[in-house]
Amino acid sequence: MLSLLAAVALLLPLLAVLQYRWLGQVSTAERERMGAVLRSAAAQFGETFDREITRAYSTFQQQRAGEISQLAKEYAGRFQEWDTSASYPRMVRDLYLIVADAQGSNRLLQFEQGAAAFHQIDWPEELAELQGVTMPTDPIRDEIPALLIPSDAADEGASRILCVVVVLDLDHLKQVVIPALATRFFAADDELEYELAIVRRSDPQAVVFQTNDNLASRATNDAVTGLFEVRLETLLGRPEAQERKGLVRIVKRQRISTGEEELPGRWKLLVRHQSGSLEEAVANGRRRNLAVSFGVLLLLALSVGFIVVSSGRATRLAREQMKFVAGVSHELRTPLAVICSAGENLADGVVHDRHQIAEYGSLIRNEGRRLSRMVEQVLEYAGAQPGRQPYQPKPVELRAVVEAALNESRLQLEEGGFKVETEIETDLPLVNADAAALQRALQNLLGNAIKYGAENRWIALRAWKDSPASGSEEVTLTVEDRGRGIPARDVSRIFEPFYRSPDVVAAQIQGSGLGLSLVQHIAAAHGGRVSVESRPGQGSSFTIHLPIAAPTAS
Ligand code: ADP
């Protein structure tokens, strides 16, 4: 047992330390893995968004020269193509042509899809800044937001088509496109794991989108990526092909440097884990894992402790049982030896005198009684084990029980020369009890009072009704002696089976150590208890407390 304890005491802290370290390493790896996954998700978010932008750009890119009316027909076809092929067709809100006339001022023509025609309109406020455009080199105006596609159409009379303006629907982007992409790349089970914000690169205070308030102004982010650019290389294949079309130039130009990092796009996507940061999320996971594994270790330690305690208890019980067997055998041997030798003497005719024969007879009777009392106790103890209920309670008058017990012990009391004071309250209520068991309990207490009553040879037996301050009314049965008393250190143990005070063992007073445990068992089985008061050298008083029987309806 000791070596098991030592092994556990050594192993548990070792396991705890190893667990702590390994979980630390696992967390570091987990943090790196989550970081990589997050960065890749952010990049894919940007790429997917840009793919839609680029598709819009390439769909409405004017490739063939022609008159405006011809162009209008072509754009009607393009719109149809866009509506059927784009993932989010409603992200394109309006289409315009900017046309420079002979006087050098720009006119704005709006495309009307129903009529498949361009109509001149006044410059709306959102496009006012394009009024002075000459030759657009920048394909994106993210503050509108709009795509500007340079025109390669031939001059039409005095006027010249400068560019096609594809105006994007910002509300649709914010309410449909971005949330859909966020769910696609940053959600698990339709629940966003990350908080997102999109700000304009040229003005980080300008928040385009955010999942929570004040998100854009936070200091740290788990991932940052750029988006909103025309990535023609993704649509048009090899760079040489693009070079020929003069598109690479545009793509290259729009990669603007912010000074912090070279990111594509006009907008910046900021991503942070819901629990504050990726670091925090991993730390939370680590704390949870540590709590679980330390909990398991604690449970293990408790189980080992429990095993040690219960096996200690089992060993103690086995030792006490051995002591009991040895004690009982010893106790049995003495009366048996006396009975045998007295019997032999009588049988051999050694004793003739009538007086002597009577003495032998009473000797054999007394020893026989002692034997049967001990056998009774052992049997009762065996019967009192948990799960067995040998008692049959019914309403009983205590006076009868007391008198029967005194009657049974009369001989012993008379031989010992005991003075017995009996005090039984008149009109004592009935108790619900097994009369025979109660009598045995009382006899055990009387037997102890006789055994341990010393020279004073005085016993009091009282029965009365009591109303304790706490609890309901009860009937008490007290056996008091003026004997040797019980040392304070033993009082708490005398009700344990097989326990005998070392003083009485030393004084060679015979007994099995079972009597009081049986008294307690009988009292408890009747819903009562046993109490004891004792002063060493002055005497003891044992009281059985029993609940009063409920009055039966008659
Ligand atoms: P036993 O009397 O066979 O030893 P019990 O269970 O009846 O076993 O009593 C347990 C112990 O309690 C006794 O060994 C004795 O030390 C102590 N004891 C019980 N009754 C008395 C008493 N009336 N006076 C003093 N000691 C007592």
Three state DSSP letters for 112-172: ECCCCEEEEECCCHHHHHHCCCCCCCCCEECCCCEEEEECCCCCECCEEEEEEEEEECHHH
Q: At 422, which helix (H) or strand (E)? A: strand 419-424
With H, G, I as helix, E, B as strand and everything else as coil, classify residue 37. helix
516 CA → ligand 1 middle, Å: 7
Q: How far is CA 160 from CA 99, 252, 296, 377, 499, in A?
A: 5, 27, 80, 124, 118
Q: What is the pLDDT of residue 62?
A: 64
Tell me the chain's radius of gyration from C-alpha atoms: 52
Nearest residue (by CA) to ligand 1, atom 4, is 513
**233 and 239 Cβ atoms separated by less than 8 Å:** yes
Report residue 441 as tokens.
């309990």
Q: Which parts of the chain sit beneath pLDDT 50?
A: 238, 241, 244, 248-260, 553-554
pLDDT at position 260, please? 46
- Give me the pLDDT at residue 554, please: 43
| Whether the Cβ atoms of residue 138 and residue 56 lie closer than 8 Å to each other | no
Alpha helices in 197-273 (DSSP H): 232-236, 239-245, 247-253
Q: How far is the CA of 452 from the centre of ligand 1 (A)?
A: 7
Amino acid residing at 446: L
The Å distance, Cα 519 to ligand 1 centre, comes to: 11
Binding site membership of 242 for ligand 1 (Cβ less than 6 Å): no
For the CA of 501, the closest atom of ligand 1 is 16
- Cα–Cα distance, 320 to 33 (Å, whole number): 62
The per-residue pLDDT for 153 is: 63
pLDDT 10s digits, 252-273: 444 443 344 567 789 999 999 9
CA dihedral 514→517→519→525, nearest 10 degrees, is: -130
381 close to ligand 1 (CB < 6 Angstrom) = no
428 CA distance to ligand 1 centroid (A)?
29
Hey, whose CA ends up nearest to atom 26 of ligand 1? 486
Three-state SS at 176: helix
Cα-to-centroid distance, 34 and ligand 1 (Å): 73
- Index of the ligand 1 atom closest to the CA of residue 518: 6
**Nearest-CA residue for atom 7 of ligand 1:** 515
Q: Read off the tokens for 553.
A: 């309806």
**Of 192, 203, 100, 208, which is closest to residue 155 (Cα–Cα)?**
100
Q: What distances in angstroms separate CA 493 from CA 16, 479, 486, 489, 497, one per listed residue?
A: 41, 19, 11, 8, 9
Check: CB of residue 155 under 8 Å from CB of residue 175. Answer: no
Sign of the dihedral defined by the CA atoms of residues 515, 517, 520, 521, in that order: negative
- pLDDT, residue 424, reads 93
Three-state SS at 259: coil
> Which atom of ligand 1 lies nearest, measured to the CA of 513?
8
Where on the phi/psi map is residue 474: left (φ > 0), alpha (ψ -120 to 50), or beta?
beta
Contact (CB, 8 A) for 522 and 381: no
- If DSSP codes are grouped into helix, strand and coil, which group holds residue 88? coil
Backbone angles phi, psi at 371, to 5 degrees: -60, -50
CA 448 to ligand 1 center in whole angstroms: 6
Query: Ligand 1 centre and the CA of 491: distance in Å?
Result: 10
pLDDT per residue over 119-163, tens digit each? Answer: 999 999 999 988 888 777 788 999 889 999 887 665 556 677 888
